[in-house]
Structure 1
Amino acid sequence: MRFFSSSVAFLVSFFAFTSTGFASQAGEAAAATNIPPAWWIAPLASVIALVIAYIFYRKVMAAPEGNEKMITIAGHVREGAYAYLFSQYKVVAFVFLLLFIAFSALAYFGVQNPFMPVAFLTAGFFSALCGFLGMKTATSASSRTAQGASKSLNSALQVAFRSGAVMGLIVVGFGLLNITLWYLILDKLVYTAEHMKQGLEFLGLTLVPKGMLASSKLGEITATMVTFGMGASTQALFARVGGGIYTKAADVGADLVGKVEEGIPEDDPRNPATIADNVGDNVGDVAGMGADLFESYCGSILATAALGAALSINVLAGEGMNPLGAVLAPTLVAGIGILLSIVGIFLVRCKDDATQKNLLHALLTGTLSSSVLIIAAVAVMAGTGWISWGIFGSVVAGLVAGVLIGQFTEYYTSDEYSPTREIAEQAEMGAATTIINGFATGMYSAALPVIAIVACILCAFGFAGGFTHMALGLYGIGFAAVGMLATLGITLATDAYGPIADNAGGNAEMAGLGEEVRKRTDALDALGNTTAATGKGFAIGSAALTAMALLAALFGSIRIWIARLASESADGLYTVGKVSFFSGETTKQIEGAINVTTASIAD
């Protein structure tokens, strides 16, 4: 999915750039781009998210670390995580350098957007920065969470969850800040009235063509910004695949040595692979998942903005919207989502005698509260003419789908429900039946989330008016993705919480803490296993909606490009689509086989 998103972003930029100046559907858009005051909520929210993340980080670091043995164990995990991360970043930096040179050459010869190389680097840099800061916080929080468990269950939950919230808030903060800053630079410094009239060149590159139509300004800005997806997707590819292989290799290796060969329990200090196992939890579910959702978050906003720029002024007028509002609305929804996700984070707390169901309910309270508040805020946007009521329905569809995916995943992964208990019962009969039952349960678990995603797509398409105007329906699907990811600040916090709680349990076990402490960390660990699975379902669902929006933006760019070549139709797209489908499906199978083989070798 990462390679797919990266490729689509590249193609959108290519076809949009090679169609510069062509009077497309966006050609009727108004030239005025005076930013409405309400839009400034978006950059302000991103800054607030980063400030709150820093406050949470300071509070986590102020919590007691525990005894000397706990500090030593946490230090080993942190050292291993840094070693992996820096090794990966060296390879990623080399790949980014090669791609930067290639994209610069394409830009120099006029094949690609001149801003693409720099936009590619900035997105990759912010994604990598989020991974580093999230990892730094998570590895510092494990011993503190274990020490908090010696006091109360809620104390441990607060340390672990707020550590996870640091990752959630820096992803949405840096993601939206990058988008809004680029928009301001392009709008106020590059695509000015003077530059569009006289042209703008720099180091032999034509940044703005002479005599550029003012009506194509929004289309050019959004086409440029979509190229962020290339950098975010490339970084996510390394973080997700590399981190996933390391995680599974370390996990399986530790289990083989400990449980199978030596018959010792998990997280036993006598098992040398235990530290690697704890490191793997962080590189896969903190840095890896963070990069994955950073890409989806930015991609959904940018693709929806590009689709808004492609809507004709007549269609927008019929919905009570304007061209500039159609482009800026996704960032405003994202900004509102950040602020209200912070509210939800502060609502997460529990009692000391809480069961896993109580803990799950505590997290659900935060997520649902944020979702309800976002729905109310987006309704205000619809009432003030920022978006149509149909688009409001699309946003609600995305939010509801995100909550449902989380609940479906919780049902199949929590030990409070029958699926996991049935698998445990099968273990009394032997390994073979356990594997078969677990595999079958996993296959069952995919059905309901997929149904939720399909229903979300259909509802978003219909609510937005897709059965009347196809372009509006696609715009609505993009907003469904934005809506689903509007709660990312708290959703990613619940996911990043998982490896922190897991590491805290390992720290407590290896440090030989009391049974009561271990009981509390086990409860948090069990909750973390469920939230980690929920995060994966959320990531896949949001990636599916983002991919739909990116494809729609791609096809819109191709149609403009074909029209520029005086073609009467875009029927060739269907042939291209068929070829892409088969080649993409084959690539997916091969990539999956390579990943599994690599993990098995690393065991």
Structure 2
Amino acid sequence: MELFFLIGFIGALVALLFAQSRRLVVMACPEGNDRMRKIASAIREGANAYLKQQYATVARIFAIVFVILLLMAFGTNGSMLSKFTPFAFLSGGIFSMLAGYIGMKISTQANSRTASAASKSLNRGLRVAFASGSVMGFTVVGLGILDISCWFFLLRFIFGISDPTDLGNIMVMNGMGASFMALFARVGGGIYTKAADVGADLVGKVEAGIPEDDPRNPATIADNVGDNVGDVAGMGADLYESYVGSILATFSLGPLAGYGYRGMLLPMALAVTGILCSVLGTFLVRTDENTDQKALLGSLRKGTYSAAILAALFAAPLTYVILGNMGVYVSILCGLAGGTAIGYFTEYYTSDSYKPTQELSASAQSGTGPLIIGGISLGLKSTMSSILIVAAAVIISFIAAGGYGNYNQGLYGIGIAAVGMLSTLGITLATDAYGPVADNAGGIAEMSGLPEVVRERTDALDSLGNTTAATGKGFAIGSASLTALALLVSYVSIADNKLAAAGKKLMDLSLTNPQVLVGLFVGAMLTFVFASYTMSAVQISAQSIVSEVRRQFRQIKGIMEGTADPDYARCVAICTRGALRQMVIPALLAIIVPILTGLILGCEGVVGLLGGVSVTGFAMAVFMSNAGGAWDNAKKYIEKGNFGGKGSESHKAAVVGDTVGDPFKDTSGPSLNILIKLCSTISIVFSGLIVAFHLTGFFM
């Protein structure tokens, strides 16, 4: 049975070869004129410089944690931690970093090529940008499956761990490195991109009254760099962690449900099947020249929906052959259907093709205040659909998998639903990652002085990208909630085993237990404090950019007349320093708070914390992502000529709304789903330490 896990290497090979083929397609396209190449080169240099400094900063933190894990694993003869976990921590972080780095490299090569292709036709621009996104999507799934497969075979055949329960419990700890790297990448990149974006918008568009991406704006290169380090590199690391985390969580639940290695093989087989279906779906994405947002959305839907339908069809025989329990197949369908439904409702609330965003745009006619209030209201309302969809998926998948007859089988059903939701991540992420490329292409078209029709085409692709980005975040957040529940169950199982081995009583998880109740409050608090720090980080960094842009407008004579060049590099450097400095505290919160909670309140307190952060984090992430996406597309809807068009009072109000929404949708919101899972994996890895030394144990 274990040899069937070789399909993981096959799936990884297919994904990575397809990613390489898409890269060659992108690189074969012309990069445009000299001006376009010069701007693209400046963006590449800025992105490379930022990531180099970010990885150097994160490497130092990784080294400290690695030493701590080594001491826990080898200093206690393995009683606190598996001796493999420190090394899996490093490999997970490295693979997560690679996923983001490769995505950033191709996006900075594709931006000018997309602008050049858009000068020929809308369809050509879409194809180049989408090919670039496909590199990102299939690199993430390919590296994720490769990392899991390598560790499975190392543990099973090199180190001889034959018990599936032990192997599953070790494997679930391997996700900590990926979560660790993803949080730093998402938070740091999100702070960078939104600080530059906010600074460029407030001074350039609102105060100076110049167009977006105008070459006279000193922050415009930093803004374009931010699209790559935040919306591509950060997002790639983020969804790599979501993908790997869902599979590993189900690995640990399979043996608990009594399925043994078969329960671990099914999520692997589903992931590989999803890769093949996603490859087929990418060939269906194309559009006509004269089209609107609904038609563009339909083009991408054709690819993503086709991949999901194919995955659903193939999942039936796989489930029957591997498990023989077709109730689990219903759980998989719940995940696929739930992910698609979340994507639809996210699109409904954020796309300017639908009533909510159009009404939000109309509110700008009454000023900034009504627009801000309307966006907050829209975001709050949008949480209802996502939460009800996930709630339905949890209940149905639990019942269908046999949860009322065997509790652990029901929990396995929830875990496999998360895998089903992310099984076609290759194409889902491709539709997400293409958006920043289109955004950069629009900036290059503006700064290069290309014809207005080119900017209209790139704006259409960019507006669509805002919607697909929100949809991608919806997938990540929805799967995070299911994965977090699976990880919570894994934590309870692992912690109880350690308590029993230490001769201590098992956990009392009733809500009347003060440790659980206080843990719930701490988890809810962590969500809000984390969001506060990430929002504040954008504010502080953006203030530096605002001051710098104002200084350059004031002191460099000839900028506004176009006779002198701004100091773009200065803004890039300020964003880099600000992001790296501001990302540390929120990232450390996610690491330190679960450990401190455990040391003070014990394992029960940690369970409460994980429940609190999962529920509040999920709702907050949906609210922030959808509100931010709606504000952004409301601005673009006005820029199309509605409610006064560009330069009107409505447009100025919408720019402010977009400025508020930027850290909502691209910094705090998407970082919360990583927070949810990182808290879980941190708790699992440090469960031995908590069992041995928690403060409440001295009084009980």
> TM-score, normalization: structure 2?
0.75
Provide the secondary structure at the position in 1 that maps to 2:471. Answer: helix
Q: Are positions 1:588 and 2:527 aligned together? A: yes
Distance in 2, matches of 1:357 and 1:140, equals 28
Q: How much does 1:395 deviate?
A: 0.6
What's the CA shift string for 1:127-170, capped at 9, x where partnerless? 00111110000111110001001111111101001101111101
C-alpha separation in 2, matches of 1:497 and 1:569: 49
- The answer to whether the 8 A contact 2:141-2:275 is kept is yes
Write out aligned runs for 1:135-150 (5 A). 135-150=104-119
Partner of 1:250: 196
1:221 deviation in Å?
1.5
* Structure 1 residue 471: Cα displacement: 0.6
Output one character per residue of 1:101-130: Cα deviation in whole Å (capped at 9) or x when no partner: 111111112221100111000000000011
- Which deviates the most, 220-229 or 562-571? 562-571
Equivalent in the alignment of 2:152 = 183
Equivalent runs, 1:36-435 vs 2, <5 Å: 37=4, 39-109=5-75, 110=77, 111-191=80-160, 217-312=163-258, 322-435=259-372
- Counterpart-to-counterpart distance in 1, 2:213 and 2:324: 52
Asked if the contact 1:394/1:477 (under 8 Å) is kept, the reply is: yes
- Mapped partners of 2:160, 2:6: distance in 1: 20
| Matches of 1:61 and 1:410, distance apart in 2 | 31
Partner residue, 1:9: none
Q: Quote the residue 1:547 is aligned against.
A: 484
Amino acid of the residue matched to residue 43 of structure 2?
Answer: V
Q: Give 1:562 deviation, angstroms.
A: 3.3
Counterpart amino acid of 2:187? V
Query: Aligned partners of 1:386 and 1:338: how far apart in 2?
Result: 21
Q: Which of 474, 479, 484 is the equivalent residue of 2:411?
A: 474
CA distance in 2, matches of 1:268, 1:565: 65
Q: Is the 8 A contact 2:398 2:411 kept in 1?
A: yes
After superposition, the C-alpha distances for 1:368-419 in whole angstroms (9 at most, x for unaligned) are 1111111111101133243511111111000011111111111111111111
**Residue 58 (structure 1) shift:** 1.3
Question: Is the contact made by 2:275 and 2:423 (CA closer than 8 Å) also made in structure 1?
Answer: yes
1:258-304 CA-partner distances (Å, limit 9, x unpaired): 11221111111111111111111222211111111111111111110
Residue aligned with 2:144, SS: helix
Query: What SS does structure 2 have at the residue aligned with 1:513?
Result: coil
Distance 1:568 1:405 in 2: 41
The secondary structure found in structure 1 opposite 2:2 is coil
C-alpha separation in 1, matches of 2:399 and 2:3:
28
Structure 1: distance between partners of 2:460 and 2:324 = 44
CA contact (8 A) 1:249 1:599 kept: yes
Deviation at 1:256, TM superposition (A): 1.0
Identity of aligned residues (%): 51
Pairing of 1:566-585 with structure 2 (within 5 A): 569-571=506-508, 575=513, 576-585=515-524
Contact 1:461 1:477 (C-alpha < 8 Å) held by counterparts: yes
The answer to whether the Cα contact below 8 Å between 1:226 and 1:302 also exists between their aligned partners in 2 is yes
1:207 is matched with none
For residue 114 of structure 1, give the secondary structure of its aligned residue in structure 2.
coil
Deviation at 1:84, TM superposition (A): 1.2
Letter of the 1:155 partner, please give it. Answer: R
Query: Pick from 473, 477, 497: which aligns with 2:434?
Result: 497
Give the length in aligned residue pairs. Answer: 537
Counterpart contact for 1:43–1:335, Cα < 8 Å: no
- What do residues 227-283 of structure 1 show as CA deviations (whole Å, max 9, x unaligned)? 221101110110111111112111110101111221111111111111111111222
The change in CA–CA distance for 1:447 and 1:568 in structure 2 (over 3 A counts) is: same
Which residue does the alignment assign to 2:499? 562
Which residue matches 2:462? 525
**Aligned-partner SS, 2:289:** coil
Unaligned runs of 5+ residues in structure 1 are 1-33, 193-213, 313-321
Per-residue deviation, 1:90:
0.5
Residue 486 of structure 1 corresponds to 423
Deviates more, 1:118-127 or 1:511-520: 511-520
Distance (whole Å) between structure 2 residues aligned to residue 543 and residue 435 of structure 1: 28
The one-letter code of the counterpart of 2:339 is G
**Is the alpha carbon distance of 1:569 and 1:127 closer, same or farther for their aligned partners in structure 2, counting shifts above 3 Å?**
closer
In structure 2, the gaps of 5 or more residues are 543-700
Is 1:35 aligned to residue 26 of structure 2?
no
- 1:559 positional shift: 2.6
- For residues 433-472 of structure 1, the aligned pairs below 5 Å read 433-472=370-409
Q: Return the letter of the residue paired with 1:270.
A: R
RMSD: 1.5
Q: Is the 8 A contact 1:329 1:387 kept in 2?
A: no
After superposing on structure 2, the runs of 4+ consecutive aligned residues of structure 1 that deviate more than 6 Å are none
Cα distance, 1:225 vs structure 2: 1.4
CA distance, structure 1, for counterparts of residue 262 and residue 482 of structure 2: 22
Q: Distance in 2 between matches of 1:381 and 1:529?
A: 35
CA distance in 2, matches of 1:353, 1:42: 42
2:383 maps to a residue whose letter is A
Aligned amino acid, residue 487 of structure 1? T
Structure 2 distance, partners of 1:369, 1:140, is: 29
Deviation for aligned residue 1:432: 1.3
Letter paired with 2:220:
T
Q: Does the aligned pair in 2 maintain the 1:41–1:336 contact within 8 Å?
A: no
**1-structure distance, mates of 2:85, 2:206:** 51
CA distance in 2, matches of 1:413, 1:460: 28
Q: How far apart, in 2, do the equivalents of 1:40 and 1:300 lie?
A: 19
Shift of 1:561: 2.7
SS at the partner of 1:453? helix
Contact kept, 8 Å, 1:325 with 1:387, in 2: the verdict is no
1:315 corresponds in structure 2 to none
Q: Secondary structure at the match of 1:384?
A: helix
| Deviation of 1:53 (Å) | 0.4
8 Å contact 1:326–1:387 — kept in the other structure? no
Quote the offset at 1:175 in angstroms. Answer: 0.5
Check the 8 A contact 2:333/2:420 in 1, yes or no.
Answer: yes
Letter of the 2:219 counterpart: A
Letter in 1 for 2:99: C
Kindly state the Cα deviation for residue 352 of structure 1 after the two structures are TM-superposed: 1.3
**Does the 8 Å contact 2:35/2:448 carry over to 1?**
yes
State how far apart, in whole Å, the 1-side matches of 2:350 and 2:291 are.
19
